[in-house]
Structure 1
């Protein structure tokens, strides 16, 4: 079921703040050019949580058998989406680099020092789709995964519409951006050695492009949404996402991923 609302005064950020739900996610396009950045998605209240961590694949916390990506593909319903919309419900999450070790021999995988899953997805059937070109928002409640009865779906749809019309408690509160003191996890000498090794591989013809990176961390106790809102204004990108996946909070912007 769906309901179409006018969204000339409603933004994805505002909708995210107003909708009451669990494991909410924003996939946001900044509509500078409405043809190329037309849609944004806010999803909430997933039916399934699928995670691959420490060699174990789980669905809603229960261990299951199978290849992680194949299992995810089997669980996700196909062919349900509206042809005019970019999303018809399904899995939203991330796949970590170390997952490639299931398919290719990449040598020894470094020890996991931050306790993140190799793959973590939620499967949604409750979501909003913002069409920035028409300034409409599609409020969707489905039952393709939960098999809820129609009355339950209708009630859920009505609740979300009511949420969108109700001001959030912190809607106009100033963003609380506490100063963060970051520390690096690679010493300068080790990083220089990485650069020298990459240059040698390039000279040998074994590599033509390399992006060296290192992780920075900081103690944090604030609201990560405040940082996402600030980041999208101070350093805007056409495509952004904000996700809260269990212990991980992901902000993505301009091809940078921030773990909070």
Structure 2
């Protein structure tokens, strides 16, 4: 593993802007809170950027594929392929300056439950996203807000032996060059016209007001009858959006900073 460290000479936001490339699978694990007056971060102190994975594990139902950056593709079931990945690419964590030197980042969807327990669902599959999406990164950039340092970690995966050492060095130096080129005074471009009619959005729910109240009454009846003791009654809100997801993430980071936030560019989808 190759590790490089340098002082943080710009804002985290500027680092995001210069390192993120649209259309390339990227994950940002962000800590947007400011420190306390004593300089300490009460909940979180690190921001992590990982991009250009060497493989991506995707699944829809019981069908999964492991797509490699070189074009190869392995087919199997979600947890079989996940076990193979974990057994093949596990890394020791005691020789890295950060808790996450590299690895898998993504999500496990609730729909994976049908693989573990055969429970039928009448819900329509109306969101065109994988049930499982994990990007396997061989590098990571970690910003330590407390120490005001940037740590580059490069593992050289998925290569082996000397080839892994060469790849680790090359990838680390590439990231160092990118970070060194980040201007110290830059800002992101806001939405083109935040006052225009096009920026006004309509938020809708899959429940009407009456239907939601009826559902609450049915849940209370089920509880009174002893059929259930708890129900998680939820509704989905949706809205149209025609802007840039990354710019939206930056605006949310400014307007509503959170100690633990994330941005995922899955190329065909985005998660904020």
- For Structure 1 versus Structure 2, the TM-score category normalised by the shorter chain is 0.7 to 0.9
TM-score (norm 2): 0.79
Three-state SS of the structure 1 residue aligned to 2:100 is coil
Query: Which of these two proteins has the greater Rg computed from alpha carbons?
Result: 2
- 1:133-144 alignment runs, 5 A limit: 133-144=146-157
Specify every segment of 5 or more residues in structure 1 that has no aligned partner in the other structure, as ranges: 252-260
What is the number of residues matched between the two proteins? 247
Write the distance in 2 (CA, Å) between the matches of 1:204 and 1:27: 45
Specify every segment of 5 or more residues in structure 2 that has no aligned partner in the other structure, as ranges: none
2:4 maps to 3
1:208 maps to 230
Summarize the Cα distance change of 1:96–1:158 in structure 2 as closer, same or farther, 3 Å threshold: same
RMSD of the TM alignment (CA)? 2.6
Query: 8 Å contact 2:201–2:239 — kept in the other structure?
Result: no
Write the distance in 1 (CA, Å) between the matches of 2:80 and 2:223: 35
Write the distance in 2 (CA, Å) between the matches of 1:41 and 1:195: 41
Higher helix proportion:
2
Q: Deviations over 1:180-230 (max 9, x none)?
A: 333333333333332223333444552336251213131x33211221122
Write the distance in 2 (CA, Å) between the matches of 1:38 and 1:95: 25
Summarize the Cα distance change of 1:63–1:144 in structure 2 as closer, same or farther, 3 Å threshold: closer
TM-score (norm 1): 0.82
2:16 maps to 16
Higher relative contact order (CA 8 A, sep 6+): 2
1:131 maps to 144
- Report whether the alignment pairs 1:230 with 2:242: no
- 1:1-260 alignment runs, 5 A limit: 1-7=2-8, 9-11=10-12, 13-19=13-19, 22-31=24-33, 32=35, 33-34=40-41, 36-60=43-67, 62-66=73-77, 68-76=78-86, 77-81=89-93, 82=95, 84-147=97-160, 148-167=163-182, 171-176=186-191, 178-204=199-225, 206-208=228-230, 210-218=232-240, 220-251=241-272
